[in-house]
């Protein structure tokens, strides 16, 4: 049910939609487990980089592999995002949102790129990948794992926040309508965050948890 707005929340300049859905006092196993479940279900997110003279730039990309709290993308070395990452490797983000459930994930991290010799390229490459590269017919630029344009971008997470919906579409509507009628604040799920120390621990313990 919607929770009533209090004078203390207004006077302390608190955002009630955040405060009333804040749910960070849960075991790390649950926090990261729910995070993995949301991200793995969506698979495609927006990868953001910082571009000189422009600012933040985002593009839709499919996650090639998730290992613990970190994400791996297969990309074309000729893409301008590699220039962005070279200049601002610490200013990279990934965002996911499920418009059906209202679940969302926001990740800030450091980007590390690899050469075409990285063996993980062969592990994650599929025939569908070649559709985004093309085959020049020269025996080199084939769209296959050995193609020199094939490179990896690994995002090592440093800060994660996410929202996990705890009501369905009907419940969401009831919360919103109820809040409008009563003057309360809708509460539709759990809002959580993980900072760098927690993420480092998860990286050590969840390295085998991949999708």
pLDDT tens, residue by residue, 78-103? 999 999 999 999 999 999 999 888 99
Please state whether 134 falls in left (phi above 0), alpha (psi between -120 and 50) or beta: left
Question: pLDDT at position 175, please?
Answer: 67
Return d(Cα 42, Cα 164) in angstroms, integer. Answer: 13
Provide the token pair at 202: 């998860």
Backbone angles phi, psi at 156, to 5 degrees: -95, 110
Buried (b) or exposed (e) across 27-63, using 16+ Cβ within 10 A?
eeeebbebbbebbeebeebebbbbbeeeeeeeeebeb
Q: What is the pLDDT of residues 101-132, one digit of tens each?
A: 899 999 999 999 999 999 999 999 999 999 99
Strand, coil or helix: 198: helix
Fold of 18-204: Pnp Oxidase; Chain A (2.30.110)
Residue keyed to tokens 């009501």: 167
- For residues 187 and 20, the answer to whether their CB atoms sit within 8 Å is yes
Question: How many angstroms separate the CA atoms of 73 and 19, rounded?
Answer: 34
The pLDDT assigned to 92 comes to 98
Q: Which pLDDT tens digit goes with each residue over 169-178?
A: 777 777 677 7
Q: What is the DSSP letter of 204?
A: H
Helices (H) and strands (E) in the chain, counts: 7, 10
Q: Specify the pTM.
A: 0.88
Higher-confidence residue: 97 or 187?
97
- What are the distances in angstroms from CA 70 to CA 14, 87, 113, 172? 32, 21, 13, 31
Mind listing the pLDDT tens digit for each residue in 60-84? 999 999 999 999 999 999 999 999 9
pLDDT at 211: 74
**pLDDT tens digits along 17-59:** 787 788 999 999 999 999 999 999 998 999 999 999 999 999 9
For residues 121-146, average pLDDT = 95
């Amino acid at each position: 049910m919607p929770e009533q707005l209090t004078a203390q929340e207004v006077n302390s300049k608190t955002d009630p939609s955040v405060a009333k859905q804040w749910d960070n006092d849960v075991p790390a196993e649950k926090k990261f487990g729910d995070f993995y479940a949301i991200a793995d279900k969506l698979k495609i997110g927006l990868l953001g980089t910082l571009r000189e003279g422009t600012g933040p730039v985002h593009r839709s990309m499919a996650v090639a592999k998730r290992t613990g709290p970190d994400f791996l993308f297969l990309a074309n070395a000729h893409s301008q995002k590699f220039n962005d990452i070279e200049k601002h490797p610490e200013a990279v983000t990934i965002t996911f949102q499920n418009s059906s459930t209202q679940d969302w994930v926001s990740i800030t991290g450091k980007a590390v790129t690899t050469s075409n010799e990285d063996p993980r390229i062969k592990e994650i490459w599929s025939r569908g990948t070649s559709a985004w590269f093309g085959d020049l017919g020269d025996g080199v630029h084939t769209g296959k794992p050995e193609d020199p344009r094939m490179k990896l971008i690994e995002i090592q997470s440093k800060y994660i926040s996410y929202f996990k919906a705890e009501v369905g579409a009907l419940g969401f509507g009831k919360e919103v309508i109820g809040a409008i009628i009563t003057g309360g604040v809708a509460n539709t799920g759990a809002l959580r965050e993980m900072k760098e120390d927690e993420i480092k621990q998860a990286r050590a313990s969840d390295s085998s948890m991949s999708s």
